[in-house]
Amino acid sequence: GSELKLADISQLPAIAELPNPFLKVNGKVIRAKKDWACRRAEIGAQAQAYQLGNKPSAPEKVKAELQGENLLVTVVDKGKTLTFTAKITLPKTGKAPYPAIIGMGGSWINNEALAKQGIALIQFPNNEIAEQLNGGSRGKGKFYELYGSDHSAGALMAWAWGVSRLIDALEFAPNSPINASRLGITGCSRNGKGALVAGAFDERIKLTIPQESGSGGSASWRVSDDQKSAGQNVQTLSQIVTENVWFADKFKGFGQSVNRLPYDQHSLMGMVAPRGLLVIENTSMEWLGNRSAYTAALAAREIWRAQGIESNFGFSQLGGHNHCQLPETQAPEVASFIQKFLL
């Protein structure tokens, strides 16, 4: 479509409640399923412009080479070359080509259980692609060696770009043991934020499972601010932009004016629709914003519901366990989503 004209931060209206995900930038509300793809593209453009930075388009060339259990991915673009290695762990059951879960820096959804279901695990080295040590990590990592340390993408979007290149490689790796049309992605905590962004921005991913992803993941910026003002120790937008480089530099501009964001995380989650999304949260971690994540999930569900595919969306919230430790009671939910979308 035509180039979307997006307002500068100072020109954006304040919206106190969660923005309507079906309201287009031109002020019209979409009413038909077929219009979601267009609205989804708008949300993606807004998220790139205000929060995440731009995701570069497909590069000139992606090469794949299997070396034992390692997939060597080579990306050639703009006269430069980048390589990274993704470790593949094949399951003990089922037969090749296997469906697979990509672990953003790893997987914390019980890898033993995945292997028993016949799912391969692919380790994506996100910290190599874009560093996330602290606020001084901006522009560091292989992505920035390729596209420049001043590229607008924060770490989350740089990782999402890298995951897309991994999928490119899986699609044409010779004698690949992986079925590239049956891929899921997961990650926990900060890497859960990354899994959500990767799933939102690549439609080849069939199932996205962000685990305990909190702020910038499954929590709502607006509701987190509200929880904080009620005296709870919840991570807010104004805090997260000072902690690390997950977002575009200009996202700091929303620190004191969250209500000017024309969308919220429920819409970013909605970019995964109509594909599968299972959001796993932990009520024992106050920092992650239990009410914030719950509210965002209820709002996100409406996006799947409007398309008549509510069962493609799942939200599970449970406390009484450590961070990034999947409780046994949440395991069946994970297993059923894996069964539905990858098997």
Structural tokens at position 258: 């969250």
For 183, other C-beta atoms within 10 Å of its C-beta total: 26
For 310, other C-beta atoms within 10 Å of its C-beta total: 13
Residue 189 annotated among the catalytic residues of the structure? yes
3-state secondary structure of 182: strand
d(CA 285, CA 125): 26
Pick from 211, 195, 210: nearest CA to 159: 195
Residues contacting residue 148 through CB under 8 Å, at least 6 positions apart: 139
d(CA 81, CA 123): 21
Residue 321 annotated among the catalytic residues of the structure? no
For 122, other C-beta atoms within 10 Å of its C-beta total: 22
The active-site residue, picked from 107, 137, 189, 215, is 189
Beta strands in 192-254, from DSSP E residues, in sequence order:
205-211
Amino acid in the structure at residue 250: K
Structural tokens at position 135: 């606020």
Q: Which residues are catalytic?
A: 189, 323
